[in-house]
Amino acid sequence: MKIMMTMSMIVLMIVLAMMILVNFIAKKTFTDREKSSPFECGFDPKSPARLPFSLQFFLIAVIFLIFDVEITLLLPIIKTMTVSNIIQYSMVVIIFLIILLGGLIHEWKQGALDWAY
């Protein structure tokens, strides 16, 4: 117990020292609205400085991440079904899959899965 306490204190002190060191070394910039805007001899810029971002792509990426994380939650359940009560774990998996399908149907009806051309 004493060894774990000592090791955790050492790790905590190393982490705190690194955080303080990074704060001293890091480049500090103060962004100004005028400095970050594009300069074209005092005139308004001809084109926007930043490219437009596809919100549809972002929604598809977020939905993919959500369902990907939920699938990774299913994998340990498959492994533990061989050593545990199969009826209880089957009910858990069925309820989890019903929730997943409900979310998928909801996203489909909201139109988040329709790719806009």
The number of folded domains in the chain is 1
pLDDT of residue 10: 95
pLDDT of residue 57: 80
pLDDT of residue 100: 84
pLDDT of residue 13: 95
The verdict on residue 90 lying in a domain is yes
pLDDT of residue 68: 85
The rounded distance, in Å, linking the Cα atoms of 92 and 73 is 12
pLDDT of residue 113: 74
Phi then psi dihedrals of residue 70, to 5 deg: -70, -35
**Residues with Cβ within 8 Å of residue 80, at least 6 apart in sequence:** 89
Q: Could you tell me the residue range of the domain that residue 9 belongs to? A: 2-44+53-110
The verdict on residue 116 lying in a domain is no
Using 50 as the pLDDT threshold, list the residues of the chain that sit under it: none
The verdict on residue 115 lying in a domain is no
CATH value at residue 61: 1.20.58
pLDDT of residue 90: 80
